Amino acid sequence: MDISQIIDKAVKRENLNLDEVTALMAASKKEDLDIIFSAARKVRDVQFGKKVFIYGFVYFSTYCRNNCAFCYYRATNTELGRYRKTPEEIMALSTSLYDAGINLVDLTMGEDPKMYANGHKELLNIVQGVRDEVPIGIMVSPGAMPREMFPKMKEAGADWFACYQETYNRDLFAKLRLDQDYDYRLNQRVWAREAGILTEDGMLVGLGETARDRAEATLRMGALGCEQIRAMTFVPQHGTPMQAIVPADSMDELKVIATMRLLFPDRLIPASLDVEGIVGLKTRIDAGANVITSIIPPHMELAGVAQHDLNIDDGCRSVDYVKEMLDDMGRHVATNAEYGAFLSEHKALIKGAE
């Protein structure tokens, strides 16, 4: 299949079928890759100009009841020292990230039973507390929740709900998210949207999936209407059943980012600092990403997910450092007014779709 013909179709906003999307995911010739990435950049710049959104990451509890095979924080991994931040600490972290200039704070946790107790009381209090303190976007990444929680999460002040399917291949899902229900996880984003919350979906790359699996996942995420979609390359973790898997380079992830951009020009697509650290930023921006996630302030005893400590205490995942990097790329951080306009516009669209 001719890559430049597929790109022409995508740029003209014609729908691509699964075979065509798979061909983009499987491209390997240098000239084809150049065409894909440069088209993705162009489409991104037409839509968003030079502005990039930046998200602060507050992984406030690393306790988890689940046993995802790929995750360092799985319940049975006894190798790590876990932590749980107090509401006061979370408020202080969010405020300092806001002062440093982020557009959104991503409140993330493992499926911590303490946060889930009494109808998710502590989690809701934390979201409400941050809402009252900082006038920027709030994303909550708490794992899978019952349907009735979503209106409460909306009321507490969440703009976004993030929950990644990881794969739309049911067999692979069963090997990754051990003892978890595929359909329950799939419904998370449906229930969040019903409640008027924006959603993020994501896939893992480098865990035995095919180019077709990645194409299918991209099309499904788009069809669900998720306003933010992502791919992250798997990083092997000590103390887990997948520790010996040889890590893939980031090329497949970059092709997913570019393909997502070409198919869904107006979505937010993150460049995560949690895979390769700061050295992985430029390639992801050059593939069509328009959000930087996993910005973590140094010396606060906060962890990343896939990379627990890479570039955190050396300050390379701080707001100031990321701003400098963007400057070098001829780009800049969006204002909170610009980010707020994106939120309002897209919230009105989900309401309208009800």
CA nearest to 114, candidates 105, 128, 106, 125: 125
Helix (H, G, I), strand (E, B) or coil at 280: helix
The residue within the footprint of ligand SF4, chosen from 37, 56, 74, 326 (CB under 6 A), is 74
CB within 8 A of 53, min separation 6: which ones? 103, 104, 268, 290, 291, 292, 333, 334, 339, 342
Indicate which of ligand SF4, ligand MD0, ligand SAM, none lies near residue 293 (CB less than 5 to 8 Å, by partner kind).
Answer: ligand MD0
Angle between helices 18-26 and 211-224 (to 10 degrees): 120
CA nearest to 258, candidates 42, 13, 105: 42
CB 306 within 8 A of CB 235: yes
Amino acid letter for position 231: A
Q: What is the 3-state secondary structure (H, E, C) of 211-278?
A: HHHHHHHHHHHHHHCCCEEEEEECCCCCCCCCCCCCCCCCHHHHHHHHHHHHHCCCCECEEEHHHHHH
Burial class (CB in 10 A: 0-12, 13-18, 19+), 70: buried
Least distance from ligand SAM to the Cβ atom of residue 40, Å: 22
Residue 304 makes contact with ligand SAM by CB under 6 A: no
Q: Which residue is nearest to ligand SAM (CB)?
A: 306
Residue 296 makes contact with ligand SF4 by CB under 6 A: no
Nearer of residues 67 and 125 to ligand SF4, judged by Cβ = 67
Please give the structure tokens belonging to residue 66: 């689940």
Least distance from ligand SF4 to the Cβ atom of residue 65, Å: 7
Least distance from ligand MD0 to the Cβ atom of residue 272, Å: 3
Please list every residue from 106 through 125 that binds ligand SAM, using CB under 6 A.
108, 110-111
Q: Give the footprint of ligand MD0 on this chain (CB under 6 A).
A: 57, 106, 108, 141, 162, 272, 274, 293-294, 304-306
- The residues facing 52 across adjacent strands are 333
The residue within the footprint of ligand SF4, chosen from 37, 53, 57, 73 (CB under 6 A), is 73
Indicate which of ligand SAM, ligand SF4, ligand MD0, none lies near residue 74 (CB less than 5 to 8 Å, by partner kind).
Answer: ligand SF4
Stretch of 49-57, 93-101, 161-169, 338-346 lying at the interface with ligand SAM (CB under 6 A): 161-169
Least distance from ligand SAM to the Cβ atom of residue 238, Å: 10
Indicate which of ligand SAM, ligand MD0, ligand SF4, none lies near residue 218 (CB less than 5 to 8 Å, by partner kind).
Answer: none
Please list every residue from 127 through 186 that binds ligand SF4, using CB under 6 A.
143
Which residues of this chain interact with ligand SF4, rule CB under 6 A? 64, 66, 68, 71, 73-74, 110-111, 143
Binding site for ligand SAM (CB under 6 A): 70-71, 108, 110-111, 141, 143, 163-164, 166, 202, 204, 232, 234-235, 237, 305-306
